[in-house]
Structure 1
Amino acid sequence: MAATTIDTKPFSPFEWLLASRYLRARRKEGFVSVIAAVSFLGIMLGVATLIIVMAVMNGFRKDLFSKILGLNGHVVVYKVGAPFDDYDNIAKAVMRADGVVRAIPLIEGQVMVSSAVQALGAAVRGIRENDLKGLPLVADNIRYGALDGFDEGGGLAIGMRLANMLRINVGDTLTIISPRGAATPFGTAPRSKTYPVTTIFELGMAEYDKTMIFMPLAEAQRYFSKNDEVDILEVIVTDPEAVEAASQRIRGEAGPTINVTDWRQRNETFFTVLEVERNVMFIILSLIVLVAALNIISGLMMLVKDKGRDIAILRTMGATKGSVMRVFLITGASIGVVGTLAGLAIGIVFCAYIEEIRQFVAWMAGTTVFDPNVYYLTRLPADINPVETGSIVLMALVLSVLATLYPSWRASRLDPVEALRYE
């Protein structure tokens, strides 16, 4: 009676046992184990690096987005060729549009500011007290002084970095000089006036903290000779991402006498560069994971060649081609799966403590890492996107499994007679 071969169930304990034995290092298989270790480290570091870099770039964009839109309006309403003196009526009309939260009249001007020790350029914004308090980015980040009585006090609110560079504090005076002063027979004379500093804020964005000055709207109208006019209306909407539809509704409510622009148009180049850089970094760093997957192929090919005699014996004892293929599939995929999970854990922990790590590296190196004057922000941000992180993990797992298919197939096609011919 002929013996019958009974195929084991796919991924049975027998196959897992063999795969685990092949993953363990032996003295004569040391080189194969080194390649497996390098493949594991490559997958782990590639996934961790990709998660960390993408989280930092997401955090960088999110923080810049919140800072820029937290201080600037989502939609800007202005007039061309006509004085903007009916801003209160336009603001009421704008507020009737769906999705509009606030309409803020502003006066904007470039000035030079000076103290007893320093003179610097700055941007002045004339704004009402209630509107300034309605900006959480400013109202929640007051370091010295207060905004109460801002309209009546006639003082200035300035950034922390500007105050440090001018070496002034709350209660000190600041001289503002504008090149657009009164017209005289000898030309335009610069306008100069001294104001007390009543408030110092810190927004966490170096560019704003060292250049921004808030002045009461009525005082700004007098200083810049605007009479009862403003330069623009900055409009805050509920959904900044849907700003185009909001702009259409605002234009419809305010009438044909006004022009409208939005934050995308005003910062188009800046945010486009960030998006392009983010996509390019993802592609470049994905190559690290791909190289690590290729290491799995080379390691498995060497393992298959080294285990040719074992494969032949297994085949003569009744192991099927599918069973042999699954053994090596488990062996290679285990390296990729464990490496991916380890990289995921390292990436999440690194992002959670990234600011502490930055400070430690700066302390060890004795230099500044992530200079706020260059990167705008005072802290290194990291924002892990679950969908993006999941796609990174899925990509690493797919590459790891695909990398094992060809070596596993070659192992299953090994002829037992040829393998044992010279044994």
Structure 2
Amino acid sequence: MFKPVPVAIGLRYLRAKRRNGFISFISLASIAGIALGVTALITTLAVMSGFQKEIRTRMLGMAAHATVSGYGEPLQEWQRAVRLALADPRVAGAAPYIEKEALISGASNQPAMVRGIDPVQEATVSVLPAKMVQGSLQQLQPGRFNIVLGKELALWLGVSVGDDVIVTLADFRSTPVGGVQTMKRFRVSGIFEAGYNDFDKGLAVVNLQDLQRVLRMGEGVTGVRLKLHDMDQAFDVARALAQKLAGPYRVSDWTQDNANLFRALKMEKTVMGILLSLLVAMGAFNLVSSQVMLVTDKQADIAILRTLGMTPRQVMQVFMVQGSLIGLIGTVTGLVGGIALTLNLNRILQAIERVFGVQLLPEDVYYITGLPTDMQAQDVTVIVLVALTMAFLATLYPAWRAARTAPAEALRYE
């Protein structure tokens, strides 16, 4: 099979035994450095992507993909809005809601968001019915003024199922003696655990009609919550629904409601990727050192090749091939190691816990047990390309030095 001379010589240099064993050691260190860097990058970004996915899943299980709400006043024609939304094939579920900030008082006081829901329709837009640990949503019957609390919220209030709480809403009503805050006694009929602190500590749920009566809203609601088959289309679907209703409505989706959180997670992942890329850069610097030493060791060989008619460009290609192959071996080794480590990370974590008798992620402290991973092909591709690019750039200076070798000077003392 035809093989260009620079490639053939570069491959031979890669396999040949070095006269100086230290050069071989530096070459192996370069391979190990690049491999460790690629492995660490793949595993770390997979874990960070896994945490992002886990947080997004838990948050969006309780929050709406999109909402259409009244602009400054209650949404009165919400039944029509729900019908129009369900007629859209992109919508998986739609339900009305009312949200008001409140101060809830039990054994202690705690601010929270009170959400009025229809217990039947709520199951189509959230996983709340499946997150009940005590009681059920079906106990939120109109006129009974029951309330369902998040687990952490119930602990902070010092109440349990069957206890009464006072809900003081951020809403005033006029009386003969002046403005009075709206207050109502509710009985705790259930407790849920969403696995996300913002909901477990900051959300209380009541029946939609009960909250309408307390707030004297008539048939109005805050808006309509939508769950979609593809949450990336949330804003477009909500905007289309608002246009069909033909009125001044406020449209929002999950990316807007939680923009700061997802922006922070993305920034954290980007910064971590840049910092861990320094590990690959360290391997590339080792590659520069090994290649410079190799060029010095092969001065006589370079001079002979030049005497036989090899051009400086071909000499440069010889060492670029040899150095690039070292980078390729390190990158492929790191790729295999990173994928294997990521796929077996939870097993390794469990083994460490068994051997040392510790629990690294205790359930009573962290909502997420184990290390969730989400290895994305795009991340792996970028890591491999960055590693190969660094390795290639590391070969340029040593190869350029080899091309500048003067045959007469190199052979003078041989």
TM-score bracket, shorter-length normalisation: 0.7 to 0.9
Q: Indicate whether 1:63 and 2:58 are aligned.
A: no
Q: Residue in 2 aligned with 1:43? A: 34
1:204 to 189, 195, 210: 195
Q: Residue in 2 aligned with 1:19? A: 14
Distance 2:387 2:99 in 1: 51
1:302 positional shift: 1.2
Distance 1:15 1:186 in 2: 91
Q: Structure 2, unaligned stretches of length 5 or more?
A: none
Q: Indicate whether 1:120 and 2:115 are aligned.
A: no
Q: Which stretch shows the higher mean deviation, 232-241 or 61-70?
A: 61-70
1:108 positional shift: 1.0
Q: Residue in 2 aligned with 1:138? A: 128
Distance 2:166 2:357 in 1: 41
Distance 2:121 2:345 in 1: 35
Q: Residue in 2 aligned with 1:388? A: 379
Q: Residue in 2 aligned with 1:76? A: 67
2:247 to 256, 259, 281: 256
Amino acid at match of 2:81: I
Q: Which stretch shows the higher mean deviation, 364-373 or 123-132?
A: 364-373
Q: 1:332 to 1:12 in 2, by over 3 A?
A: closer
Q: Residue in 1 aligned with 2:290? A: 299
Q: Residue in 2 aligned with 1:188? A: 180
Q: Indicate whether 1:268 and 2:259 are aligned.
A: yes
1:381 positional shift: 3.7
Task: Kindly provide the CA deviation profile for residues 350-408 of structure 1, in whole angstroms up to 9, marking residues without a partner as x.
Answer: 433556667888997989879999x9867654321112211211221232133224423
Counterparts of 1:2-401 in structure 2 under 5 Å? Answer: 9-10=4-5, 16-22=11-17, 28-30=20-22, 32-97=23-88, 99-116=90-107, 118-151=108-141, 155-166=146-157, 169=160, 171-179=161-169, 180=171, 183-184=174-175, 185=177, 187-189=179-181, 191-198=183-190, 200-312=191-303, 328-354=319-345, 380-401=371-392
Q: Residue in 2 aligned with 1:3? A: none
Report if aligned partners of 1:129, 1:150 keep a CA contact under 8 Å in 2.
Answer: yes
Between Structure 1 and Structure 2, how many residues are aligned? 409
Report if aligned partners of 1:113, 1:121 keep a CA contact under 8 Å in 2.
Answer: yes
Q: 1:299 to 1:368 in 2, by over 3 A?
A: same
Q: 1:81 to 1:411 in 2, by over 3 A?
A: closer
TM-score w.r.t. structure 2 length?
0.81
Report if aligned partners of 1:19, 1:330 keep a CA contact under 8 Å in 2.
Answer: no
Distance 1:272 1:37 in 2: 40
Amino acid at match of 1:103: A
Q: 1:354 to 1:157 in 2, by over 3 A?
A: farther
1:190 positional shift: 5.5
Q: 1:8 to 1:270 in 2, by over 3 A?
A: closer
Report if aligned partners of 1:205, 1:378 keep a CA contact under 8 Å in 2.
Answer: no
1:76 positional shift: 1.9
Amino acid at match of 1:19: L
Amino acid at match of 1:347: G
Q: Structure 1, unaligned stretches of length 5 or more?
A: 1-6
Q: Residue in 2 aligned with 1:4? A: none
Report if aligned partners of 2:92, 2:124 keep a CA contact under 8 Å in 1.
Answer: no
Amino acid at match of 1:121: P
Report % sequence identity.
Answer: 32
Report if aligned partners of 2:65, 2:228 keep a CA contact under 8 Å in 1.
Answer: yes
Report if aligned partners of 1:181, 1:191 keep a CA contact under 8 Å in 2.
Answer: no
Task: Kindly provide the CA deviation profile for residues 317-345 of structure 1, in whole angstroms up to 9, marking residues without a partner as x.
Answer: 89887886565445423332222123223
RMSD in angstroms over aligned alpha carbons?
Answer: 3.9
Q: 1:380 to 1:8 in 2, by over 3 A?
A: closer
1:132 positional shift: 2.3
Report if aligned partners of 2:10, 2:322 keep a CA contact under 8 Å in 1.
Answer: no
TM-score w.r.t. structure 1 length?
0.79
1:126 positional shift: 1.0
Q: 1:249 to 1:181 in 2, by over 3 A?
A: closer
